[in-house]
Every structure is written in C-alpha cells, then in structure tokens.
Chain A
Amino acid sequence: MMAAMLSRVSAIAAKEFAHIRRDPRTLIAVLIVPIMQLMLFSYAISFDVKAVPTVVLDQDGTSASRAYLQTYRSSDFFAIKGSINDLASVDEAFRNHLAQVAVVVPPGFGRSLAKGEKAQVFVIVDGTEPNAAQLGQAYTVALNQLYDNKVLVKWADRQGFDTTQLGRIEPRIRTWYNPERKSADFLIPGLMVVIIMIVTVQQTAVTLVRERDLGTEEQMMVSPLRLPELMFAKLLPWTLLAFVDMVVIALVGLYYFHVPLRGSVMFLSVSAGFFVFASLGLGLIISAIAPSMESANIIAIMVAFLPAFLLSGFAFPLESIPPVLQGVSYLFPARYMIVISRGVFLKGAGFNELWPQLALLGGYSLLVIALASVLYGRRAAR
C-alpha cells in the first residue's frame, strides 16, 4: 500500500524532472535569474543613506551659525555641496540634483542662542527621494540633539509647508544588530525570501493547468493516484531546486555581501525547506483554480510579487501597515520566513526563539497540500 503510493509519487517526481531536463529554460529561470535578481535588487534597493548631498544657507553669519553648520560638515551623513545665498537657490539645487537637503540658518540665530532662547533652524528636504529624505531627516534630528538641545528645528518639505515640529520627535536612533546600519545585512536575508517566493510560486502555478490542457489529467484520474499524492509529488522536484536556489543566494549573501550568519545553519535549512514547500504550495493552489495558463501566470505574479515585497515585512515593518493588510499578510509564507531568516542571520536566533514561525510554516505546508487537493478535485468534473 505504502510502497505503491511511494512508487506513484516517485513516478510523478521523476516525470517532473524529465520535463525540467527537456526544457533548460526552466532551470535558468529557477537557478540563474534569482541570482541576477539578488544583485539587481540589492544595488537598486539600497537603504544605506550616507553622504546625503546638502547645501547650506547661512542668513545669520555669526560665529554661532558657522559653528552649527560645522557639525554638518564634520558628519558622515551629509556631504556639503556648497553654500547658497537665498531661498530661491534651494529649489534650483534640488532640481539640478545638486542636493537633497538644505539647511537654513535664519537671521537672529546667534542672538537667540546667546539669550538662552530656543533658536530656529530650517531644514528643507527633497520629498521626491523618500528614503533619503526620511533618513536625512532623522539624522538631522540626531545631529541637532547632539549639537544643542536649545536649537529648535522647523521642517519644511519641498512644497514649503511645515511638516513636523521637531521638538516632539524623539531623535534617539538606536540600531541594534546592525550597528553600522549597513543595509545589505538587513536586506539580503529578507531579499532571499522575497526572491524565492517569486520564483517558486511562478513555477508551480502552471503545472496543474498544463496537465488539464494536455488531457493527461484524465489519464491520472483513471489511475489509482490520489490527489494529495499528486500535489506532494508535484512539489518535490521544485522544492529541491528552490532549496538549492536558497542556498546559492545565501552563499552569495555571505561571501559577496558579507552578511553575517550568526545562528544555526541547520535550523535555517529546515525552515527554508518548509518555506519553499509552502510557497510552491501556494502556486499549486493557483494552478488548481486557474482556468488557463495565462490567468495562472497573471495570478501568480499578483500573488507572488506584491505580497512578497509589501506584506512580508521585507520593505517595511508589518506593524506599520493597516490592520486589514496585516491580517492578509498572514496568508503568505514570506512573513514567517523573513522573521526566521533575519533572526538566524542577524540575531543568532534559533529554535527556542523562532519555533512558532517554523510551526506556522509546517502547518502552512500541510494546509496548502490539502487545499490544493480539495480545490483541484472540485474543479475536476468527477
């Protein structure tokens, strides 16, 4: 009984491998493209903000204002591209991409400080570069904090209206686990997960649709093969390939981007196994319900790309998205794996800390097999 089942599962797994062998494009799509994506993404989505180009406008011209601006010059976060003479030049500097931040010290700055009053400084940020702007903003706050608590900075964005009163912002920026705020450390463990999710969901999304289009589905129906066996066997070869994929990406991260690996490789591997299986299962569910190859591909792109990037905690913390979307994010395996991946790589966490995520991935894997079987069975006419 068991032997017959294993024989059927291995027959399908072997057949899937034969398809892959016959069509090397699939292998390229699975093994080469992710590495390219890793390279592209890691350079394109760099969260590192260093040496933000900055211009200064000193309308006070006192020794106090010069000393204040000196703190910007000596900081790594700002690269002073020059001084300007009036506010109109700020626009010009932003438009020419000369600067993304302008620091304006208004007249009376030195006098206010001397009297012990709160002095005002304007920092204008180019809002078209949100990441740089946000971090530039944060750094400025920190800098002011360091310089003098008495300095009150008023912010205006490029459009010219006041946004935040800085006195209220808590400028204590502390970065744990990634003290240099090197974004590769933060990026790669998450990116690994995102890329694998995109690649895997795509691969299985068409696999059942193809059987239906070919008519081979009917031949399977007249065999003793059971649907969960079919689902499991369909996932096996891709799980293996996606796992290899994940290892390769991890190696690139470790040796090329010098991401630290502080936790257990074993735990990471087991989790990665479950994660790729779960992601492939998600593709299988798409395949079970999609009416055609085209729609399967489109659904796979929708399901894989957006949630992988936006609902996984990869790009921004899940706590910061609306509660409804937070709920939706639980439907995708990436959110569990990103916690595991970052935890193991950066924090050295293991089973004791991350078992809930691993358990969720395991449960997820079983659930997708069951769900794909049920949905596929319902679609099939029998």
Chain B
Amino acid sequence: MAPSTAELAIDARRLCRRFGDVQAVDGVDLRVRPGGVFGLLGPDGAGKSTLIRMLATVLTPNSGDALIFGDSVVHAHRRITPRIGYMSQRFSMYLDLSVSENLEFFARIRGVPAALRRARSASLLESMELAEFSDRQAQFLSGGMKQKLMLASTLMHEPDLLLLDEPTTGVDPLSRLEFWRIIADLRAAEKTILVATPYMDEAERCTDIAFMDAGHIPHTGTPAEVKSLVPGTLFEVAAPDPRAALAAVCSASGVTSAHLYGDVVRVLSAPGGPDARELLTHMNAVGIHATDVQPADVDMEAAFAYLAEQAGDAA
C-alpha cells in the first residue's frame, strides 16, 4: 500500500520548470520515504539541479507542486526550510571567510542558538576531520574539504531532509569514499537524504534510486529493481579492435543494444537472443576476430545505458 502524503519526506506531483525554451523539468512525480538514501541519477543537463532547487524552495515551479513533509514548496516554504539542508552543486561559501566563520554565519542566519552553534560546529568539524583547518580561509581548501564544509554547514541546524546536489562531482576518489561514509553515518542518524549524482557506481550505495533524463523520471526503485528492468543477458566481448567488434555485434539479430565499455564491448542480448557462442559465431562470420565473450552481471551502468536508450526511443 502506498504511504499517505504526510508520511513522505518528498511528494512531488507533475513538477515542471522551464528556462526560456528549455523544459528543464517536465512533469516529474517523485515519492521519497523518510529514512534512507535516495539517489537521483542522470547525465548532465537531465534536470537534476533544477528539480533539487525546486524541492529546496529556492526555485518556484512553473506548474505542479511538491510536498516536503506535507508542506507545499509553493505555498509554505517558511515551514519547509527549517527542516531541510540544501547543498548546491557549486561551492557556495564565502571564500574570504574561514571554515569556522562560514559555519558560524550560516548557522546564525538559520537561527541556531550560540551554545548549540559552538557544540555542533566542534563536533561536525571533528567528525569530518576538518577541525585542524577551522581557521583556514575557504578559498584555500581542497575540493574535498570544500564539499565537507558545505555539508557541515547544511547540518548545523539539524535538518531532517538533506538535498545534496552532486556533492561528489569534481572530488578525488578518496574524498568521494569519505563523503559516502559520512552520508552513511547520516542515514544511520535517521536523516533522509536525496543525493544527485552523475556517477552510476554511486547508485549502488543508495537505498532507492531515480533515473532522470531530459526532465523526466521514467523509473524509480531499489537498485535491484532498476537493474531487473533490463531484459535479457549482458555479455562482454573482448576484441583487438573493439570498434569493429561493436559494429559487428550491432548487426546480429536479437541484440537490444551494444556499447563500448572501456576496451570491451557490452552487448545486451534480448530474451531468446544469441548466447555467447552464437555471438562469437556471428562475429567470425562477418570477419571480426573476438578473443573472448563472457556473460556479465547487469550493473547500474548497463542498466542506465539501456534505460536511457529506451527513453530516447520513446521520445
């Protein structure tokens, strides 16, 4: 049974936003239950930031509405903002102010009392390993440290819902891991987290995901559910000339899609389509030498490649 509106952290209905001629968000429905990490995945320009900004009440929808813990982003943003933390994609702290000055300022305008500001700032800086940099000006922080500072700042007023817009984009792999560790801690602290990311591998860390493309969200579900949307079997074809191999497999009947993936070709074979041996035979027949064909697990990357293609065909 679907949960009622009041139980949902986010309940967006037919949300639309246009910029000039571009329909950035085009009738999005999205339901996010409290607790858990909800991943909003999609390529650049899919409309993820626009959607998040509308949910954060910093952008007004052209039509549709979204309820955050039951309150409308259009009509009741003052009831919503105390309960949310919004981290924009761009670093948006004062570059000339220090780490602690930035935390202090944003907490003060949020109305956090002085005693709590001190305590929370100390514990957040500690847990994010930023304590020793608290006097450093924000402009001299590394990319990873900047993201942690932004996250710390959105946590100072202890929001229930975190809206994180690509927090790990442009951050080194080690910092990305660290950031996801922090997100896991927040989930354990029973926060609801909506996190946008262009990295498909990060989807595996989410409890639920939505795939966004060209302003639409065609699919939501757990990672396993989304992967199960992909019919048929996935094969990885290794060949000395992957481009030629790609062209060759595309001509085989029963192949739904094929992509270059690193230096192998990923081939999605429809149910009842060719198996590994048949693929190899087909390629030999068209004169392409393949060294190996192996079945592979459908991962997020493959799922999204397929789903994006389906969405593109439908449009």
Encode A12-52 as 1/0 by CB contact (under 8 A) with B: 10110011001100000000000000000000000000000
User: Is B59's CB under 8 angstroms from A223's CB?
Assistant: no
Is A299 part of the contact surface with B, judged by Cβ < 8 Å?
Answer: no
Q: How far is the CA of A19 from the CA of B110 in the complex (A)?
A: 20
CB of B94 within 8 A of chain A? yes
In the complex with contacts A8-B111, A223-B109, A215-B92 CB distance below 8 A: yes
**Assembled-state Cα–Cα distance A215/B56 (Å):** 14
A66 to chain B, nearest CB (A): 74
Bound-state Cα–Cα, A334 to B145, Å: 47
Q: A225 in the interface, Cβ–Cβ < 8 Å?
A: yes
CB neighbours (8 Å) of A220 from chain B are 109
DSSP majority for the A interface? Answer: helix
Output the least CB separation between A215 and chain B (Å): 3
Contact string against B for A residues 98-134, beta-carbon threshold 8 Å, 1 for contact and 0 otherwise: 0000000000000000000000000000000000000
Cross-chain contact B92 with A222 (CB below 8 angstroms): no
A218 touches B94 (CB 8 A): no
How many angstroms between the C-alpha atoms of A110 and B108 in the bound complex? 88
Closest 4 CB pairs of A and B: A215-B92, A11-B108, A22-B96, A223-B109
**Interface pair A224/B78, CB less than 8 Å apart:** yes
Answer whether residue A381 sits at the interface, using C-beta atoms and an 8 A cutoff.
yes
Closest A residue, CB atoms, query B108: A11
A sample of 19 cross-chain residue pairs with beta-carbon separation below 8 angstroms, ordered by A number, consists of: A7-B108, A11-B109, A14-B105, A18-B96, A19-B94, A22-B137, A23-B96, A215-B90, A216-B93, A218-B56, A218-B92, A221-B81, A222-B58, A222-B81, A223-B106, A223-B110, A224-B78, A224-B111, A382-B57
Kindly state the separation between the CA atoms of A222 and B110 in the bound complex, as whole angstroms.
Answer: 8
Tell whether B38 is near chain A: CB-to-CB under 8 Å. Answer: no
Task: Indicate with 1 or 0, residue by residue over A198-230, a CB within 8 angstroms of chain B CB atoms.
Answer: 000000000000000011101111111100000
- Across the interface, do A381 and B60 meet the contact criterion of CB distance under 8 Å? yes
- Is there a chain A Cβ closer than 8 Å to B91's Cβ? yes
91-123 of chain B: CB within 8 A of chain A: 91-97, 101, 105-106, 108-111
Which residues of the partner chain A approach B56 to less than 8 Å between Cβ atoms? 218, 222
Measured between beta carbons, the chain B residues less than 8 angstroms from A19 are: 94, 96-97
Q: How large is the interface on B (under 10, 10 to 19, 20 to 34, 35 or more residues)?
A: 20 to 34
Q: How large is the interface on A (under 10, 10 to 19, 20 to 34, 35 or more residues)?
A: 20 to 34
Q: Are B59 and A382 in contact (CB under 8 A)?
A: yes
In this complex, the member of B78, B86, B110 whose beta carbon has the largest number of chain A beta carbons within 10 angstroms is B110
Looking across the interface, which residue of chain B has its beta carbon closest to that of A19? B96
Query: Which of B's residues lie within 8 Å of A, judged by CB?
Result: 53, 56-60, 77-78, 81-82, 84, 86, 88, 90-97, 101, 105-106, 108-111, 137, 153
Shortest Cβ distance from residue B223 to the other chain A in the assembled complex, whole angstroms: 29
CA distance A219 to B150 in the complex (A): 10
Contact assessment for B88 and A8 in the assembled complex, using a CB-CB cutoff below 8 Å? no
The CA-CA distance from A197 to B81 in the complex, in Å, is 38
Cross-interface CB contact of B53 among A8, A216, A218, cutoff 8 Å: A218
CB of A382 within 8 A of CB of B60, answer: yes
A4 within 8 A of B: yes
Q: Note all chain A residues with C-beta closer than 8 A to B81.
A: 221-224
Give complex CA distance A224, B109 in Å: 7
The answer for the CA separation of A329 and B91 in the assembled complex, in Å, is 42
Q: Nearest Cβ in chain A — how far from B79, in angstroms?
A: 11
How far, in angstroms, from A15 to B109 measured CA to CA in the complex? 11
Given A15-B105, A19-B96, A22-B97; A224-B110 close (CB under 8 Å): yes
Kindly provide the distance from the CB of B17 to the nearest chain A CB, expressed in whole angstroms.
Answer: 9
Bound-complex Cα distance A60 to B60 (A): 87
Q: Which residues does chain A contribute within 8 Å of B101, judged by CB atoms?
A: 15, 18
Distance in Å from the Cβ of B139 to the closest Cβ of chain A?
10
Q: What chain A residues lie within 8 Å of B77 (beta carbons)?
A: 382
Most buried by B among A8, A23, A223: A223
A382 and B76 CA atoms in complex are apart in Å by 12
Q: How distant is the Cα of A4 from the Cα of B113 in the complex, in angstroms?
A: 9
- Asked if residues B58 and A382 are in contact (CB atoms below 8 Å), the reply is yes
Report B-chain residues with C-beta under 8 Å of the C-beta of A225. 109
A216 and B94: CB pair below 8 A? yes
Q: Is the CB of A216 within 8 A of B57?
A: no
A222 B57 Cβ-Cβ under 8 A? yes
In the complex with contacts A215-B91, A216-B92, A8-B58 CB distance below 8 A: no
In the bound assembly, the distance between CA atoms of A111 and B109 in angstroms comes to 89
**With A and B bound together, what is the CA distance between A221 and B57 in angstroms?**
8
B243 to chain A, nearest CB (A): 42
- The answer to whether B88 and A215 touch across the interface, beta carbons within 8 angstroms, is yes
Task: Return the chain A residue nearest B19 by Cβ.
Answer: A381
A266 to B110, CA, bound (A): 38
The digit string for A363-382, where 1 denotes a CB below 8 A from any CB of B, is: 00000000000000000011
Q: Distance in Å from the Cβ of A229 to the closest Cβ of chain B? A: 9
B59, A381: Cβ atoms under 8 Å?
yes
